[in-house]
Copies of this chain bind each other. A is one copy, B any other.
Amino acid sequence: MQTNEKFFRSEGRSPSDLRPVRLTPGYVATAEGSILIEVGNTRVLCNATVEQGVPAWMRNSGRGWVTAEYGMLPRATLTRSPREAERGKVGGRTHEIQRLIGRSLRAVVDMQALGERTVILDCDVLQADGGTRTAAITGACAALAIAFNRMLAAGALKSSPLKQLVAATSVGIVEDTALLDLAYEEDSQAEVDMNVVMTEDGGLVEVQATAERVAFPRSRMLEMMDMAEAGIRQLLDAQREALKREQQERAPAK
């Protein structure tokens, strides 16, 4: 039934080009903070929930907690994947990704300023064409910022617990060439795959480089990091622009 083989092709991108990025704030009205992020054909819905209280082991610490959950709709992919709820367990890949998202966001949140609240970032992939975990980090950070901005506006927080924005992208080596922001087709042929998570001031939050087929020298890694950092700067711009737009829509000029 897959007559769509041609659908997923990169169209005229240079090796160091990101795919087109779009952030839609307020995609659902039910969540404290909501962003639909699109990176090429990859589409991830990121919703932030803020709940009172923290897990048992943190109680009475005066500090908050940030965690993430990640899911993929069964038909986000060209071939349908069984629903994890039906299988009765969360798979290893899902676990790995939601831990990565959670760590990345915790690195930029001031838990003292958050106070004894828990933020849950739900990242659900509606359509997958590579780079879902990095899109989820970039989108989740924007959703988190929106939730905090609204709490500030409502007086529920005195200062924003978000120290700075964080965004993420991937770089891979395909046929010995470094490529930024791999689409699915490219990713499946990559010899090396790297995810980089970086803050606005250029600090690294997470670097994960994996040899899919052959080990790589350190020089390769540095080249890939350069490419990733340039891409992340563009993603941080896109986040800032979306946050500004959300703020304007929420509180129109008098």
Residues of A within 8 A of B (CB): 1, 3-4, 7, 27-32, 34, 41, 43, 45, 47, 49-51, 69, 71, 73-78, 80, 83-96, 98-99, 103, 107-108, 120, 122, 124, 126-128, 147, 150-151, 154, 156, 198-199, 201-218, 221, 225
Chain B residues, CB < 8 A from A204: 209, 211, 215-218, 221
Q: Across the interface, name the chain B residue whose C-beta is closest to A147.
A: B1
Q: Can you report 9 A-B residue pairs in the complex whose CB atoms are below 8 A from each other?
A: A4-B29, A7-B29, A30-B76, A80-B122, A85-B85, A96-B99, A103-B210, A107-B211, A204-B221
Apart from A88-B88, A206-B209, 11 more pairs, CB < 8 Å:
A1-B51, A4-B29, A28-B75, A51-B80, A69-B74, A103-B210, A107-B214, A202-B217, A203-B214, A204-B209, A205-B210
Min CB–CB distance A92 → chain B (angstroms): 4
Min CB–CB distance A130 → chain B (angstroms): 13
Give the copy number. Answer: 6
Task: State the CA gap A87–B84 with chains docked (Å).
Answer: 10
Most chain B CB inside 10 Å of its own CB: which residue of A27, A75, A77, A217: A75
Q: Which 6 A-B pairs have the closest CB atoms?
A: A203-B215, A84-B85, A92-B95, A47-B75, A95-B95, A31-B75
Chain B residues, CB < 8 A from A203: 211, 214-217
Task: State the CA gap A99–B96 with chains docked (Å).
Answer: 9
Please tell me if the beta carbons of A71 and B83 are within 8 angstroms of each other in the complex.
yes
Task: State the CA gap A69–B74 with chains docked (Å).
Answer: 10
Chain B residues, CB < 8 A from A50: 1
Please tell me if the beta carbons of B30 and A47 are within 8 angstroms of each other in the complex.
no
Chain B residues, CB < 8 A from A73: 45, 47, 71, 122, 124
Chain B residues, CB < 8 A from A156: 1
Min CB–CB distance A135 → chain B (angstroms): 15
Please tell me if the beta carbons of B154 and A3 are within 8 angstroms of each other in the complex.
yes
Please tell me if the beta carbons of A205 and B211 are within 8 angstroms of each other in the complex.
yes
Please tell me if the beta carbons of B207 and A221 are within 8 angstroms of each other in the complex.
yes
Q: Across the interface, name the chain B residue whose C-beta is closest to A192.
A: B204
Chain B residues, CB < 8 A from A49: 1, 74-75, 80
